[in-house]
Structure 1
Amino acid sequence: MKILVLGATGATGRLIVRKALAEGHDVVALVRSKAKAEDLAGAELVEGDARDPAALTRAIAGCDAVVSSLGTAMSPFREVTMLSTATRALVGVMERQNIRRLVCITGLGAGDSRGHGGFFFDRLLLPLMLRKVYEDKDRQEDAIRSSALDWTIVRPMVLNDKPARGRIKAVTDLSGVHGGTIARADVADFVVQQLTTDTWMRRSPLITW
């Protein structure tokens, strides 16, 4: 399978690219700067802005699926629009090109997963530091849900850089869920798995250890 990865130079995105290549997929990475993606050996690099439909159209040519691991920095005061703008552009390009499979990472706290992060995350980190980011993640998810694509929205618990455990708990029933963590490497494994299965098609699993 040939896949386009957005956010490929992020900490999780790099692992997704490497995992996909290791699984035998062909990978195209849309990056702002090829110089910052030189370590993504084996991936085809296309330079451009993920919010630009023309750049997305160039990058997606010949692809079978898209993985979005776009992220953005904390923004306590300034409005955030990058995630939703890029996702709306991506959905439009995918629908025009008849490419249906999209796996997108958002995060704990988006949509109906809000309120399941534990005291520190729910009462302090999200409202004080991440509120603007998560408002845009909600708009991002809305754009995906209203599309005609075959989507999976992946919501990881708080990310860490520990080695993968190879054991992932994926749930949509969040009763009793109050925080947790997961390694970026396990998230990458889960995301790549979704490219060849419809287990979580049109669903939004929260994943944790």
Structure 2
Amino acid sequence: MKILVLGATGRVGSHIVSLALRDGHHVTALVRSPSKIETIDKNLHISHGNVLNQEDLELVMSEVDIVISALNTDGTNTLTESMLLILETMKKANVKRIITVGTAGILQSRLTSHLLRYQSSESKRKSTYAAEEHHKVFEMLRHSDVDWTIVCPTYLPDGEYTGIYRIERNYLPEGGTKISVADTAEFTYQQIRNTEYLKSRVGIAY
């Protein structure tokens, strides 16, 4: 399979790249700083570019089966601005599947069912900026014609891979307070062959 990984130099993205290469997939990583990727593998193509540049996206999207985005908000609107371009470029290239890493804040609230967690008293975070950006991405995907899945982890310590965690469609598993980067990456990567959570948000926690 030919996989485009966006956010490949980040904590979750770098794990996803390693998992895909381990299984023999062809991986393209579009990155602003190629020097941050130390992995050398015949199946890894590192493309120097920016997700905010449509020409860069078109170049790497031309022969791709699936897109995995582990981009974060980095305090700007990069997440939402890039998703507009990603979806447009996917349509041009006839790429139908995208898996993104979001945040538990955009899952439904158990306390106030018509709100998302970040909009309700269920969330303890003082700043809602990141959740608002991920919410906009969720709406873009929801109104698109691609087959999307948003993996929504709660607090993300580095931690070790355990393979033992709970998942729930559209909600954070009850009592969930954290999930490691490694387990989040592994579940996200699994979705390349899983159709159970198409057009769904998935909460993940221990």
Trace 1:90-101 onto structure 2 (pairs within 5 A). Answer: 90-101=86-97
Which one of 138, 154, 164 corresponds to residue 141 of structure 1? 138
Q: Which of the residues 171, 186, 190 maps onto 1:189?
A: 186
Measure how far apart 1:45 and its partner are.
0.4
Q: Distance in 1 between matches of 2:178 and 2:85?
A: 31
Shift of 1:178: 4.4
Uncovered stretches (5+) of structure 2, i.e. residues with no partner: 110-115
The alignment's TM-score, normalised by the length of structure 1, stands at: 0.87
Give the direction of change, closer, same or farther, for the CA distance of 1:176–1:140 in structure 2 (3 Å limit): closer
Displacement of 1:176 after TM fit?
Answer: 7.0
Paired residues of 1:5 and 1:68 also in contact (CA < 8 A):
yes
Contact 2:148–2:199, Cα closer than 8 Å, also in 1? yes
Counterpart secondary structure, 1:109: helix
Shift of 1:175: 7.8
CA distance in 2 between partners of 1:175 and 1:108 (Å): 7
When residues 96 and 165 of structure 1 are mapped into structure 2, their CA distance, relative to the original with a 3 A threshold, is: same
Q: Which amino acid aligns with 1:81?
A: N
What are the superposed Cα offsets for residues 168-202 of structure 1, whole Å, 9 maximum, x if unpaired? 31102638734411111111111111001101111
Report what 2:34 is aligned to. Answer: 34
1:61-140 to structure 2, matched below 5 A, reads: 61-73=62-74, 75=75, 80-112=76-108, 114-115=116-117, 122-123=123-124, 126-128=125-127, 131-140=128-137
Within 1, Cα distance between the matches of 2:51 and 2:81?
9
Specify the SS of the correspondent of 1:161.
coil
Question: Is the CA contact (8 Å cut-off) linking 2:2 and 2:27 kept in structure 1?
Answer: yes
Q: 1:178 to 1:54 in 2, by over 3 A?
A: same
Q: Contact 1:14–1:40 (CA<8 Å) still a contact in 2? A: no
Q: Secondary structure at the match of 1:160?
A: coil
- In 1, the alpha carbon distance for the partners of 2:26 and 2:102 equals 24
User: How many residue pairs align between the two structures?
Assistant: 198
**2:46 alignment partner, SS class:** strand
Which residue pairs with 1:48 in the alignment?
49
Amino acid at match of 2:21: L
- Does the residue aligned with 2:68 lie in a helix, a strand or coil? strand
Q: Percent identity?
A: 29
CA-atom RMSD, angstroms? 2.2
- Cα distance per residue 1:70-93 (max 9 Å; x no partner): 0133x4xxxx31101111110110
CA distance in structure 2 between the aligned counterparts of 1:105 and 1:152, rounded to whole angstroms: 9
The CA deviation at 1:158 is 1.0
Tell me how far apart the structure 1 counterparts of residues 196 and 172 of structure 2 sit (CA, whole Å).
Answer: 21
CA spacing shift, 1:141–1:40, aligned 2, 3 Å: farther
Rounded to whole Å, the distance in 2 between the matches of 1:204 and 1:176 is: 12
The letter of the residue matching 1:112 is: Q
Pick the structure with more helix per residue: 1
Measured after TM superposition, the shift of residue 2 of structure 1 is 0.5
Matched position secondary structure for 1:46 = strand
Cα distance in 2 for residues equivalent to 1:142 and 1:189: 25
1:153 to 150, 154, 174: 150
